[in-house]
Structure 1
Amino acid sequence: MSGTLSAYLSAIQRCWIAKDGYLVAAFISLSDKHICNKNLYLEYPENTVDRYLKQPLNEIVSSHLKVLFHLCNDARDYSEAYKTQSHCVQSVVKMLQYLKEENWCLPIMYRVCLDLRILAQKCEEEGFHSKPGEILEKAADCLMACFRVCASDSRSSEEDTKRLGMLNLVNQLFKVYFRINKLHLCKPLIRAIDSSIFKDAFPLPEQITYKYFVGRKAMFDSDYACADQFLSFAFENCPNQFPRNKRLILIYLVPVKMLLGFMPKKEILKKYDVLQFYELVSALKLGNVRKFDEVIQTHEIFFIKSGIYLLIEKLKFIVYRNLFKKVYLIKNTQKLDMQDFQAALQFVGEADMSIEETHCIVANLIYEGKIKGYISYQHNKLVVSKQNPFPPLNGST
């Protein structure tokens, strides 16, 4: 791509005067076509840039050109590029403070923050620091500086408040915190968004991303009703032209639904290539412990890589519940011998199951409300309720 530095800087100046935040953002984006222009690869661009642009724009553009120098030469230096991009974000903070009563500049902030996160991830992958996650955590500190400026804006009009930029930054921070496994840092961000008067005014794509991450956090916190609510919103509102994103949401939504007793249909699992879950559904409905364990073993890598292995393990209690319900239906009595449950467990694959372990499983099912009754240790029996001793899992089984 050809074009002089002066033409590039003049174009940015025109966009700045026109208050076109999206075009200015494109000119400092690391994914725009201008990055192929070798005339822009400058290690020390300040003197030239200062002749065309004034503060705070000159610092932002100078930093961007330095990043191009470090990234686009034959010897790519991701570490220096990341450090320079950090300076770029710091300059954007100055820009936000300079344009006190305007928010047309928010796309510029979105772009430089996104590029900073991507560069930080690249540095982590290349192993430029001895402590994993440290670069990403420092990147998050830079993003938080932008977030604080936006959150502190007191204007209540959607036309000029910078608070409309909060959700975009929160989503960037979520991506960092999930990657470095510091989910506790998400909590104050969630509170900030939930209490915002603009929470329904944020763009739908940003709301979808937000609900996806909050749903995942709720899942890890074992708040499955909340996880279901947020992940369902994300899945239902994610456009069909993004099947990869819908599949990603479904990978977390399906086990949450299953834990709540809703079994997914084979058609939707097939559509999004997650039939591993259908094999689990079959084992759950049959109360077949052996088959359940085999499915987990077969798809172990998939469940581990998706970060849902422990969640899938929790489904085993539903397998036990359905198995014990079959014992109840066969015996047709309120007082069930614990040894019958032990024998059923041994029959479906738990060959080494002791009577003590059987008691423990039954006690947990009672505690979780999956069985209504109590254990009579004196008589080694489970005494179940006359009415609905095995409450339906939300009507699914």
Structure 2
Amino acid sequence: MAFMNVANYLQIIERAWRSCNGQTLSIFLSIRHDHAKLKNYHIESPENIVEKFLPAPIDELVVYHLKCLYSMGIGDFLTAYQLQSALVQAFTKILQAQKDENWSLPIMYTISSDLRVIAQQAENQRVGVNDKPGEYLEKAAECLMGCFRICAADNRTDDRDTKRKGMMALVNQLFKVYFRINKLHLCKPLIRAIESSPFKDTFSLSQQITYRYFVGRKAMFDSDYKAADKYLSYAFENCHKLSRKNKRLILIYLVPVKMLLGYTPNRVVLEKYNVLEFWDLVQAVCQGNLKWFDEIMEKHEIFFIHCGIYLIVDKLKIVAYRNLFKKVYLILNTHQIPVESLQTALEFLGQDVDLDETQCIVANLINEGKIKGYISHQHRKVVVSKQNPFPPLTST
């Protein structure tokens, strides 16, 4: 490091503040920078030395930062969270006071990300009986919303100076919190704010990739699979080829979405990004092999649950039903398929169903547009269209 004592550190901070160098300040207010690991920066009461070097209001931020490092150093993340939260709130006042400037946005990016990380560590350290799960993350989100409102309220149209350039970075941090505490409904107004922003396409590529990744995941959980495909595909295709971990993460959600839309994933791609758990599933769904499908769901249950996609993947069973019934239709070569024939096929593949349950499955497929036809309950037959009775899933 270029400096080894606190005095030098504070001098760097002072010069950066005087020259409005938000990038340098963001580095030296980060819990992830090298200085954060050095014990001589873990100061329980740094007020006196900070006041010797720094003017207000930057002195307050640095005091909170050094005290936060001290609390983290002794493993007290509950206190560290309170201090980082106070730092962000103090910065929010500075940001609001800077009416015609946005040079401090890099500081906002860093301290907001750090607040989320520390809040997560505080969650892991909850001890009180009154501490509810997600409480610290939820409070962190409220704190970040203060910065977001200031950025969103900036009416300047010059994209060089407007604080609205900071909106997407904050939205991405808030997405990470809301997905963690399972409050996806809170994402909706944030998405609306970004989509209506005139600067929507000017945010950095990395921010846009992260944004589309989360919006795609939300669309997936809302069963809007075409939108999910659009956003997740953008994230996957634009994610740097060396970011294999991130591309794998995107693919975990993109693969079931593609399958629900009728696309067959490439084994080479699945193997490249180490998600071969999906390959047997692809084969079972394409073949309409429900027995194999159930076995795969059981075999990879932990993986699917851990990734938060178990219920989405389980929806692929309806596609497997559709593909099985198409096989029965082709074998019988008739547009009037006896329900008993479909039931027999289901029972052969380990499904414990009666005629009524079989009819319910067919009715769902018809309602979803996966089969064109109707059920003749009087004759217990499924009457399918003579033209394209099993339309491509991409059109449903």
Structure 2 match to 1:179: 180
| 1:92 paired to 2:112 | no
Looking at structure 2, the residues matched to 76 and 335 of structure 1 have their Cα atoms a distance apart, in angstroms, of 70
Structure 1 match to 2:380: 380
Structure 1 match to 2:143: 142
Q: Secondary structure at the match of 2:326?
A: helix
Give the alignment of 1:1-16 within 5 angstroms.
3-16=4-17
Whether the 8 Å contact between 2:84 and 2:115 is mirrored in structure 1 is: yes
Instruction: State the TM-score, normalized to the length of structure 2.
Output: 0.97
Looking at structure 2, the residues matched to 186 and 395 of structure 1 have their Cα atoms a distance apart, in angstroms, of 28
Note the C-alpha offset of 1:82.
Answer: 0.8
Structure 2 match to 1:76: 75
Looking at structure 1, the residues matched to 304 and 39 of structure 2 have their Cα atoms a distance apart, in angstroms, of 45
Whether the 8 Å contact between 1:56 and 1:94 is mirrored in structure 2 is: no
Letter in 1 for 2:226: A
Question: Which segment is superposed worse, 95-104 or 337-346?
Answer: 95-104
Letter in 1 for 2:77: Y
Structure 1 match to 2:121: 122
Count of aligned pairs between the two proteins: 393
Note the C-alpha offset of 1:258.
Answer: 0.3
Whether the 8 Å contact between 2:232 and 2:250 is mirrored in structure 1 is: yes
Looking at structure 1, the residues matched to 104 and 127 of structure 2 have their Cα atoms a distance apart, in angstroms, of 32
Cα-Cα RMSD: 1.4
Instruction: State the TM-score, normalized to the length of structure 1.
Output: 0.96
Letter in 2 for 1:392: P
Note the C-alpha offset of 1:65.
Answer: 1.0
Structure 1 match to 2:346: 345
Structure 2 match to 1:252: 253
Q: Secondary structure at the match of 2:85?
A: helix
Q: Secondary structure at the match of 1:291?
A: helix
Structure 1 match to 2:358: 358
Note the C-alpha offset of 1:302.
Answer: 0.6
| 1:243 paired to 2:248 | no
Question: Which segment is superposed worse, 182-191 or 278-287?
Answer: 278-287
Whether the 8 Å contact between 1:167 and 1:210 is mirrored in structure 2 is: yes
Structure 2 match to 1:206: 207
Whether the 8 Å contact between 1:49 and 1:58 is mirrored in structure 2 is: yes
Give the alignment of 1:11-90 within 5 angstroms.
11-72=12-73, 75-90=74-89
Deviation string, structure 1 residues 143-197 (Cα, Å, up to 9, x no partner): 0011111111111111111100010000000000000000010000000000001
Structure 1 match to 2:110: 111
Letter in 1 for 2:392: P
Question: Which segment is superposed worse, 185-194 or 96-105?
Answer: 96-105
Letter in 2 for 1:121: Q
Note the C-alpha offset of 1:329.
Answer: 0.8
Structure 1 match to 2:393: 393
Whether the 8 Å contact between 1:15 and 1:21 is mirrored in structure 2 is: yes
Structure 2 match to 1:219: 220
Letter in 2 for 1:299: H
Note the C-alpha offset of 1:23.
Answer: 0.9
| 1:263 paired to 2:264 | yes
Note the C-alpha offset of 1:31.
Answer: 1.0
Unpaired runs of 5+ residues, structure 2, are none
Whether the 8 Å contact between 2:148 and 2:170 is mirrored in structure 1 is: yes
Deviation string, structure 1 residues 255-275 (Cα, Å, up to 9, x no partner): 000000011011101111111
Looking at structure 2, the residues matched to 61 and 394 of structure 1 have their Cα atoms a distance apart, in angstroms, of 55
Q: Secondary structure at the match of 2:394?
A: coil
Looking at structure 2, the residues matched to 370 and 30 of structure 1 have their Cα atoms a distance apart, in angstroms, of 52
Whether the 8 Å contact between 1:45 and 1:65 is mirrored in structure 2 is: yes
Q: Secondary structure at the match of 1:126?
A: coil
Unpaired runs of 5+ residues, structure 1, are none
Whether the 8 Å contact between 1:79 and 1:128 is mirrored in structure 2 is: no
Looking at structure 2, the residues matched to 233 and 296 of structure 1 have their Cα atoms a distance apart, in angstroms, of 28
Letter in 1 for 2:146: A
Looking at structure 1, the residues matched to 39 and 334 of structure 2 have their Cα atoms a distance apart, in angstroms, of 83
Q: Secondary structure at the match of 1:383?
A: strand
Q: Secondary structure at the match of 1:3?
A: coil
Looking at structure 1, the residues matched to 211 and 123 of structure 2 have their Cα atoms a distance apart, in angstroms, of 24
Looking at structure 2, the residues matched to 391 and 163 of structure 1 have their Cα atoms a distance apart, in angstroms, of 45
Letter in 2 for 1:117: R
Note the C-alpha offset of 1:38.
Answer: 3.1
Letter in 2 for 1:119: I
Note the C-alpha offset of 1:88.
Answer: 0.4
Whether the 8 Å contact between 2:373 and 2:383 is mirrored in structure 1 is: yes
Looking at structure 1, the residues matched to 49 and 97 of structure 2 have their Cα atoms a distance apart, in angstroms, of 22
Q: Secondary structure at the match of 1:94?
A: helix
Question: Which segment is superposed worse, 184-193 or 34-43?
Answer: 34-43
Note the C-alpha offset of 1:395.
Answer: 8.5
Q: Secondary structure at the match of 2:389?
A: coil
Whether the 8 Å contact between 1:41 and 1:69 is mirrored in structure 2 is: yes
Whether the 8 Å contact between 2:78 and 2:125 is mirrored in structure 1 is: no
Note the C-alpha offset of 1:58.
Answer: 1.0
Deviation string, structure 1 residues 236-294 (Cα, Å, up to 9, x no partner): 00001100000000000000000000110111011111111110111111111101111
Question: Which segment is superposed worse, 2-11 or 85-94?
Answer: 2-11
